[in-house]
Amino acid sequence: MIGCGKMGGALLSHWMRGDEEFTIVDPALDAAPDGARLVRDRSTVADERFDVVIVAIKPQMIDDILPDYAPMLAEGGYVLSIAAGCSLARLSRLTGGAPVVRVMPNLPAAVGKGVSGICADDAAQGAPLAHARAMMERTGTAVVVDSEDKIDRVTAVAGSGPGYVFEIARAYVEAAMAMGFDREEARALVLGTMEGAIAMALEPDAPGLEDLRNSVTSKGGTTAAGLAALNGDDTISTRLRETLEAAYNRAVELR
């Protein structure tokens, strides 16, 4: 594993539930998670070969650092990258044509509730892709997509998604406080309501989201009045479409 920052460390804590053994190369890391080996410089392990080389460094560092790791990939191994905006073709070129799997995780992977998009080049179909998917499923939900463009769309929906949810929750809490609740009370009411509603929606036999919404909404009741103010003119629907489009466009710019 090349680098082990916040996201890399979050993923690694769940990846280590499997049978793999991990070596981290990171000169800035104070200590490795229990069970992983930490080295400060690749020269320490230059003579070793690894089944997977995990790219967890900043995208701007990849051109300078990744080629040095190409000889360390074992026969039949592959490259797994969590570096945003670094294409399959670029990663494969820098590693001498190695099979490559790209992953776009999101922050809730830190608590095992992540949603990750996965895309593999032609050389990584089969066993490498299956292994990468199994690894990501230890961190939450994994969705395999069939193009890199969809990885950018995953970035817009799920990669950036926790930010949207946190912002909605923040505004919801502020609105509750404006009604007279203190911050602790407002957080408990809002986050508990959101958690419970999502849990209902995730039940295996749950009806559709529209049906769930309607099950709370009585004609002429309080929920109906609130929903009319919230999205009666499709403001929320329109704003969310614009949000995803803006994030996707920015992801394309960063390719």
- pLDDT at residue 255 greater than cutoff 80: no
Domains defined along the chain, listed by start: 6-146 (3.40.50.720), 161-253 (1.10.3730.10)
pLDDT for 143 beyond 90: yes
At 159 the pLDDT is 92
pLDDT of the residue at 251: 85
| pLDDT band at residue 85 using 50, 70 and 90 as cut-offs | confident
The Cα–Cα gap between 253 and 250 comes to 5
Backbone angles phi, psi at 53, to 5 degrees: -105, 115
Asked if 106 and 139 touch (Cβ cutoff 8 Å), the reply is no
pLDDT tens digit string along 120-136?
A: 999 999 999 999 999 99
- What percent of the chain has pLDDT above 90? 87
DSSP 51: E
Tokens linked to 173? 């809490």
| Per-residue confidence (pLDDT) for residue 96, from 0 to 100 | 94
219: CB partners within 8 A, 6+ apart: none
Taking the C-alpha atoms of residue 163 and residue 204, their distance in angstroms, rounded to an integer, is 26
CA gap 159, 107 in Å, rounded: 8
Let me know the angle formed at the C-alpha of 101 by 95 and 107, rounded to the nearest 5 degrees.
Answer: 120
User: Does pLDDT of 254 surpass 80?
Assistant: no
As a whole number of angstroms, the distance between CA 118 and CA 120 comes to 7
pLDDT digits (tens, 9 = 90+) for 38-50: 999 999 999 999 9
Q: Looking at 29-33, 63-67, 109-113, 153-157, which range is the least confident one? A: 29-33
- pLDDT greater than 90 at residue 24: yes
Residue 33, pLDDT above cutoff 90: no
CA distance linking residue 172 with residue 194, whole number of Å: 10
Over residues 157-185, the pLDDT tens digits come to: 999 999 999 999 999 999 999 999 999 99
Cα maximum dimension of the chain: 73
Q: What is the mean pLDDT of the chain?
A: 94
Q: Which helix (H) or strand (E) holds 7?
A: helix 6-15
Identify whether the C-beta of residue 70 lies closer than 8 Å to the C-beta of residue 98.
yes
pLDDT at residue 169, as a whole number: 98
Taking the C-alpha atoms of residue 134 and residue 216, their distance in angstroms, rounded to an integer, is: 37
Inter-residue contact 77 to 100 (CB < 8 Å): no
Reported pTM: 0.85
Is residue 86 over pLDDT 90?
Answer: no
